[in-house]
Amino acid sequence: MRFCYYVGIATLLLVNFSASLGERIDYSGHKVVRVRAANAVQLSYLRHLQTSDETLDFWTDPYRVGKPVDIHVTPGKYEGLARSLSSAGIQHQIKVEDIGKAEKEERQTIEHRRELTKNQKAFDFENYHTYEEIVAYMEQLALENPLVSVSSIGTTFENRSLTMATISTGSNPDKQVIVFECAVHAREWAAPSTCLWFINELATKYGSDSEITQLVDGFDWKITPVTNPDGYTYSWTTDRLWRKNRKPSSTCYGVDINRNFDTNFGGLGASDIACVDTYHGPYSFSEEESSAVRDVLIANRPRVKAAISIHTYSQLWMSPYAYTHDLPLEYDEMLRVMSIGVQALQNTYGTQYQYGNHADTIYIASGTTVDHAYSAESILYAYLLELRDTGEFGFQLPASQIMETAVETWNGIKAMALEIL
């Protein structure tokens, strides 16, 4: 999900310097406020605020009248923001009272669950995990289960392996493929947890669950639970709200991998400013991570039936296009299959999702995975999912919701896959 991290270059350099010294960024007292534009004038005001006040961090874009907009604000700026919104006739509510407190509680929960499960051999799917723990689980599963193999699809700037799991019977080299790219944005911790659950369900229920057996017989599944290992690791060690990868430029760190693909590269919804969270990079596929995803799709051409990108948050299921409001020629079919997946997801726990084309459902974005998969690789079922929640917790989804998020999402994916088999 987009998080427009408009902060002054000097401030970002200071943050980068602090991080290099091993200091964890402290979000104590930082709030998330939610606003809604009631009319076009208020929408224009919010858009102006987003682009003119570099101290405000927009977690969601002001793209449509009536839609919620979440703004991360520092302690010293809250009162001024509240007055500014009031003068424009815009009411606000506080969604997260203290981001720093929420982060401390999150880490306490993680450590508590680790202590509870330290003597258990089984992987704890109800907790968040470091990248090293995620890879170790995948490698162990590959040793124990003949359906699973693990491979490196690339190496990051900080020399981490981009690790992908393949679940396959290995019986048919022409079998259709479903590809998952998860956690391309570092702070979206519920994404890798969900994709690990996909791997577990496919690998451990083959032969005992008729639907999963049908899906593994019918598809090869290629799942990369963390497509941004450097950024993800950094979100654990230093900055919980980090989004981009960690490749340095002359001024700031990181490129938004989901703006670094070739389709309409550098267009609307991406930035050419290196210190902005939607920085698209110097050229398309300049980043090891986006190149790795591209190469997986190429290597499996033309077998890829679906390519799915897993993000958080907002509870959305979206298809191309992201870069334009124009609809693909096959949009009716995309929408039909989306609706089947969404219905199955919603039927699980009642979690409500919106669905449709990316540009109209969330915002305009250029250089995305979903548009590349459809436009460059002709993959009809190219989707991007934004998982739980709708803003109560945002990127800091409580561990108590990990399993429900994973289970409901898998039910949606399973229904989609059965439909296109």
SS (H, E, C) 230-274: HHHHHHHHCCCCCCCCCCECCCCECCCHHHCCCCCCCCCCCECCC
> Could you tell me which residues come within 8 angstroms of residue 315 by beta carbon, excluding any fewer than 6 positions away?
351, 352, 353, 354, 386, 387, 388, 389, 390
Cβ atoms of 72 and 7 closer than 8 Å: no
Distance CA 130, CA 192 (A): 10
Burial of 178 (C-beta count, 10 Å sphere; 0-12/13-18/19+): buried
Burial of 108 (C-beta count, 10 Å sphere; 0-12/13-18/19+): exposed
Judged by DSSP in three states, 383 sits in strand
Identify the pLDDT of residue 22.
Answer: 58
pTM for the model? 0.92
Could you tell me the sign of the dihedral formed by the alpha carbons of 11, 12, 16, 22, in that order? positive
- 271 strand-pairing partners: 279
Report residue 113: phi and psi, to 5°: -70, -35
Reply yes or no on whether 386 is catalytic.
Answer: yes
Q: Please, how many CA atoms are within 13 Å of residue 79, restricted to the half-sphere of its CB?
A: 1
Q: What structural domains does the chain harbor?
A: 4-100 (3.30.70.340), 103-420 (3.40.630.10)
Cα distances (angstroms) measured from residue 133 to each of 127, 196, 226, 320, 332: 11, 11, 12, 33, 41
Identify the pLDDT of residue 1.
Answer: 55
Q: Which amino acid is residue 131, in one-letter code? A: Y
Instruction: Dump strand ranges (E) for 330-369.
Output: 354-357
Identify the pLDDT of residue 173.
Answer: 86
> Which is nearest to 317 in space by CA: 278, 350, 360?
360
Buried-state track 351-367, b at ≥16 Cβ within 10 A, e below 16 = bebebbbbbebbbbbbb
pLDDT in tens, the chain (421 residues): 543 333 333 344 444 444 444 589 999 999 999 999 999 999 999 999 988 887 888 988 898 899 999 999 999 999 999 999 999 999 999 999 999 999 999 999 999 999 999 888 899 999 999 999 999 999 999 999 999 999 999 999 999 999 999 999 997 889 999 999 999 999 999 999 999 999 999 999 999 999 999 999 999 999 999 999 999 999 999 999 999 999 999 899 999 999 999 999 999 999 999 998 999 999 999 999 999 999 999 999 999 999 999 999 999 999 999 999 999 999 999 999 999 999 999 999 999 999 999 999 999 999 999 999 999 999 999 999 999 999 999 999 999 999 999 999 999 999 999 999 9
Identify the pLDDT of residue 253.
Answer: 97
Judged by DSSP in three states, 110 sits in helix
Cα distances (angstroms) measured from residue 190 to each of 42, 62, 389, 394, 398: 33, 24, 10, 10, 9
- 248 strand-pairing partners: 253
- 222 strand-pairing partners: 166, 179
Instruction: Considering the candidates 115, 386, 392, 404, report the single residue annotated as catalytic.
Output: 386
The distance of Cα 92 from the centroid of its chain, to the nearest Å, equals: 26
Q: Which amino acid is residue 152, in one-letter code? A: S
